[in-house]
Chains A and B, each alone.
Chain A
Amino acid sequence: MIENGMNRRDFLKVLGWGGAAVALTGCGNTSVEDGKELITSYVEATDYMIPSIGVYFNSTCAQCDAGCGIMGRVREGRVLKLEGNADSVINHGKMCALGQAGVQAHYNPDRVRDPLLRSGSKGEAITWEKALGLINEKLGGAKGDEIAFLTGGMSGHTKALLGNYLEALGGAKHYAYDVTAPAVVRAANKKAYGVEMPHLRLDKAKAIVSFGADFLGAWVSPVHFSQQYARFRKGENGQRGVLVQVESKMTLTGANADRWLAVRPGTEGVLALGVINALGAAGLYLSEDVKSLVKDYAPERVSKETGAPAEQIGKLAALLKERSPSLAIAGSAVEGYAHGSQIAAAVALLNQVLGNVGKTIEAPANVPFQQLAPAATGRAALVALNDALAAGKVKVLFTYGANPVYSASSAMKFKDNMKKAAFKVAFAHYLDETALEADLVLPLDSALEDWGTFVPAYAGDVAQLGVQQPLMEKLHANTRGAGDILLALLKQKEADKYKGFEDYYAYLRTAVVQNKAALGGAGADDDTFWGETLSKGLVKFGAAGGSLSGKVSAADVALPAAAAADAQFPLTLIPYVTPNQRDGRHANQPWLQEAPDPLTTVVWDSWVEIHPKKAAELGIVEGDIVEVTSKHGSIKAQAYVFPGIHPEAVSVPMGYGHEAMGRYAKDVGANVLSILDPVADKVTGETALNETRVKIAKAGKRVIVVKEEGAAGGKQMGKKIAVRVSTDKVDLSEEV
């Protein structure tokens, strides 16, 4: 590790070693050819720059909002590989596939390289001066509330700067939008525990029952949870934790559960109440109001409604009773249904009944600077923006880190509504669907070339400010960091305030150094503190949180009666957030396209998961192209007969079906988000993702499903390959 952070900027100025002269092949008839190759030496070099030795610089991963600390291996001026930063409280040196692919976001051949101004259907490269001037000009004709900023997850100083800019524009609106955000969970948590994201202690729990939370795959902070999961499985006191997953479509977490309970879509809440009922029956103390709430949820009824065997409900209750503390987590089920908030309340009630609050559900660390804390993203934001656009209330629209033209349901007619805004500016890495609709596209630096700070979406026990810093010289001369653009725009409005900052780097440095006392650097020299911060790539700040305040009462839980069967659209569509694709923003990173989906092992395409029974009923076999039709459109994709899904549901992964974005993303699969019904959670107004009813039909074509799984189809054919053993057959306490 380089301690001397002071040289970071110099390092970037000096020339790279050997330019881009990478020998692409090592196996040809290469002979020793004297004097044919060039060795370009440095003009100036610092001590740590040694040719052929990789140097590691810390930064923060920007592939999702989890905010893992990373270190980039830099050699000869190029970043080669990302590895985890062991100091980070989020990932402790580990990384996921998505994070590994960060280098491909950086080196992506389809990045936007120049500011592009729309002229007809094409983009014309213009200078930054012209681009920024144009924005200033267009903003002049709009009132504050006619300007909207649509962003994805944002935190840290970029978010603070954006806040300042919105203010400077006279109250422009910020819409923070993310399809996969656990927005309903956060709202429900706020109610039940008093905080949006309590600190979940998986490692302390002896049993976990998760209601569709894919915490190992794609939920909130998977790398962090995976590590806790490993400790939970090892059982620090010798007892191996037990995981029960309740969901309608098997997620990666479900695939790792000791018991995977397939429930009828939307009945997760019923099951939670059923478990409480069974706990009561097993002798656990229940308060009167809870008792009366769950009295109708006898195992037989619950089993009938959810489809889970009654015996399993009893076993689950027995397990939870025996193993304390336990932990119930509400996940995608909560985001999925109009009664999602109710499901969350039922799960919270379960936690409360089991006495988990305060034991495995703790208060998170406080983030002392709220302006740096992650923006509360959600799907309702897009609905609000769409309404504003439809009503013609938005004249200038900025988008950054969000791709609504791709991810909005066709029912919202977002693309058409967007046209109503007079001037659309997209901050973009790629020419994605939204950038193509914009009037002005501003090319962004990649996450490995840019400065920034991040506050993780999920804090854990210590709050942490991740510092993002350039790991190498800019790949394209004419791209800029989002922070730099915002600063330049701010200077247009409030030149005096910001004139002291030459660029975003200067701003960031000042902002961090000024608060060094709060960031644990009290008394340190400015330069030393800043140097150390960059060297570590993160600052830990904020004390552990206090106690949790909220409480959920039986009155908060009111589950609706089971929905009547819909003859026209008999199936529930579950859009699946895959660990690799998430909401589709990484679709142009080929490693992620080629890495098989862990459960189906499909690559380079989307698929429709159908339960074998349902498939047999409909005469569908693997590879049939099926048409999935909802009230708002239809998509075609290959069928994959998959045992891990409830027969009344079909599932299609998100993130595929891009019409633009780049060579690896374009025309790969179908976009499931486009056919969603715009149904909202009744309490929070967040779009419910699993409320779309569909019918499926064969489209008459059959293809070979391109997947990793071979002809044996996941069978071991009697061979001892992946072996499983039940807990009573092993002794884990003796293990190393």
Chain B
Amino acid sequence: MAKDIREDISWAQINNDVLKSLETPRPLYWVIVTVALIMFLGGVGLEVYMYNMGMGVANLNNPHVWGLFIATFIFWIGMSHSGTLLSAILHLMHADWRKPIYRFAEAMTTFSLMTAGLFVMVHLGRLWQFYYSLPYPNERGLWPNFQSPLLWDAMAIFTYLSSSIIFLYIGMIPDLAICRDHMKEGWRKKLYTALSLGWEGTDRQWRNFRITYLTVACFLIPLAVSVHSIVASDFAMSQQPGWHVTSFPPYFVAGALYSGCAAIITLFIILRYVFKFEEYMTLPILKKTARLTFAIAMVWTYLNAIEFASVWYSHDQASKDVLIQKATGPYAFAWWGMIFCGSVVPLMLAVKRFQTNIPVLFAVSLLLNLGMWLERWMIVSPTFSHGYYPWAWDHDQWPSFVQWGMVFASFGWFTLLFMVFCKVFPSVSMYEVKEMVYHRTLALKKGGKGGH
């Protein structure tokens, strides 16, 4: 089996390779940034249009009051779980192959949360009054409704966002110091100087750093689980057929990890190429990620089956109707698409040959994400079009270009943030890769096979 990383790679070369990514990426980088910017600006335009005209231009209606905005919101929240998985969970489990890739996964967490937050805003009918949903002391003497899952949502997301920013930042401090030391004078040097908080690499600093990092990691894991459980509560706590399912929280968390892993594969491949990280983001690591994704895909498939079964064997006819409607109604293509992309496509990851085949993995990861996005849409929309009250059934609702455009733009916004991050900050953790190389060298000297 190939090695996760070469043991003979020198520390100086690591510094050199990674710092190079801050300077000269391949031209494709600029193409991606430009495209992402255009997509994002398009979304801004649509939002301005919708803000002025009213939400009606999104072609939502009564009773179909939620649509792609909420579906995509869940999608991005789900996406955010990968970072926590790789950096916090695998960190605690001492899986050291995560080291070259956890930094960008964490960045992904932060940025997908920011994207998700945008959708909450876009979704509000009176965006300019959004602060009513924040608990703050005010003259009116009013508080938000602490009973509402939507409020829990807002709080959970804000907490998760701030925690993951802190986690990302703390983990970067030693690397920022390296950047500071290697940069020529300029605004970047000033930035790194300020951000590295006077890191000198003393033993005491390292000890404190380790403790802090571990603490935040431990804190982040329950947070990540709770965030998506709370998003699931938006639905599970309601009374609507198709939503009122007890198994929603674990189902949502599994789905979240799943889409997060798939997204990591996608970005892995892009970064590896764009920033010439072939030495660090190696095929064996990709293979491990693919295997992890496969495992989570199967968990998700299992939970999906549980959801269907619990609906099917319940006595709630309305929920059953919604399930039948999903499979046979106007949304059937999306529902079957979700089953295919979410449960059938990942079977390819079980084939060894494909686990290191970059084009195949890239295609599969995109399909998995498509499947997961469809899943979120299939959670939100069919319940609206086929609820308790037959008179209000609406099978014709179709999102307008505003909704589609906004979904599209969110990918631009995310990519833009992500690409800018990778250019400004080291997207591979230098000090951890060095550790990894060091550990492997030690193990090699002792005659082991590397790894733990």
User: A-side interface residues toward B, CB under 8 Å?
Assistant: 27, 29, 704, 709-712, 715-719, 721
Contacts A717-B321, A718-B317; is A710 near B393 (CB within 8 Å)?
Answer: yes
Contacts A710-B390, A712-B390; is A704 near B317 (CB within 8 Å)?
Answer: no
List 4 additional contacts besides A711-B385, A711-B396, A716-B390; criterion CB under 8 Å.
A710-B391, A710-B393, A711-B395, A718-B317
List chain A residues, Cβ under 8 A from B305: none
A-B contact pairs, 19 of them (CB 8 A): A704-B396, A709-B391, A710-B390, A710-B391, A710-B393, A710-B394, A711-B385, A711-B393, A711-B394, A712-B390, A712-B391, A712-B393, A716-B390, A717-B321, A718-B317, A719-B388, A719-B389, A719-B390, A721-B389
B309 within 8 A of A: no
B140 to chain A, nearest CB (A): 13
Q: Which residues of B from 160 to 213 have beta carbons under 8 Å from A?
A: none
List chain A residues, Cβ under 8 A from B389: 719, 721
B131 within 8 A of A: no
List chain B residues, Cβ under 8 A from A718: 317
B128 within 8 A of A: yes
Pair A721/B390 contact, Cβ less than 8 Å = yes
B397 to chain A, nearest CB (A): 10
A506 to chain B, nearest CB (A): 52
A707 to chain B, nearest CB (A): 11
Q: In the assembly, what is the distance between CA of A146 and CA of B111, in Å?
A: 85
List chain A residues, Cβ under 8 A from B391: 709-710, 712, 721
Q: In the assembly, what is the distance between CA of A712 and CA of B390, in Å?
A: 6
Q: In the assembly, what is the distance between CA of A717 and CA of B394, in Å?
A: 14
B392 within 8 A of A: yes
User: B-side interface residues toward A, CB under 8 Å?
Assistant: 126, 128, 317, 321, 385, 388-396
Nearest chain A residue, comparing its CB with the CB of B318: A719
Pair B128/A715 contact, Cβ less than 8 Å = no
Nearest chain B residue, comparing its CB with the CB of A716: B390
Nearest chain B residue, comparing its CB with the CB of A712: B390
| Of B128, B385, B389, B391, most A-chain CB atoms within 10 Å | B391
Interface residue from B317, B321, B390, B392 paired with A715 (Cβ < 8 Å) = B390
| Of B126, B321, B393, B395, most A-chain CB atoms within 10 Å | B393
What are the 4 tightest A-B residue pairs by CB atom distance, in nearest-first order?
A: A712-B390, A711-B395, A711-B393, A717-B390
Q: In the assembly, what is the distance between CA of A712 and CA of B126, in Å?
A: 32
List chain A residues, Cβ under 8 A from B395: 711
Nearest chain A residue, comparing its CB with the CB of B397: A711
A150 to chain B, nearest CB (A): 44
B440 to chain A, nearest CB (A): 62
List chain B residues, Cβ under 8 A from A711: 385, 393-396
Q: In the assembly, what is the distance between CA of A709 and CA of B394, in Å?
A: 9
B127 to chain A, nearest CB (A): 12
Pair B128/A29 contact, Cβ less than 8 Å = yes
List chain B residues, Cβ under 8 A from A704: 396
Q: In the assembly, what is the distance between CA of A711 and CA of B384, in Å?
A: 12
B181 to chain A, nearest CB (A): 51
Nearest chain A residue, comparing its CB with the CB of B63: A710
List chain B residues, Cβ under 8 A from A709: 391
Q: In the assembly, what is the distance between CA of A711 and CA of B386, in Å?
A: 9
Q: In the assembly, what is the distance between CA of A711 and CA of B397, in Å?
A: 10
Q: In the assembly, what is the distance between CA of A721 and CA of B391, in Å?
A: 10
List chain A residues, Cβ under 8 A from B321: 717
List chain B residues, Cβ under 8 A from A27: 126
Nearest chain A residue, comparing its CB with the CB of B395: A711
Q: In the assembly, what is the distance between CA of A27 and CA of B385, in Å?
A: 29
B301 to chain A, nearest CB (A): 31
Nearest chain A residue, comparing its CB with the CB of B129: A29
A723 to chain B, nearest CB (A): 14
Q: In the assembly, what is the distance between CA of A718 and CA of B320, in Å?
A: 13
Q: In the assembly, what is the distance between CA of A710 and CA of B63, in Å?
A: 11
B17 to chain A, nearest CB (A): 54
List chain A residues, Cβ under 8 A from B393: 710-712
List chain A residues, Cβ under 8 A from B388: 719
A638 to chain B, nearest CB (A): 15
List chain A residues, Cβ under 8 A from B385: 711
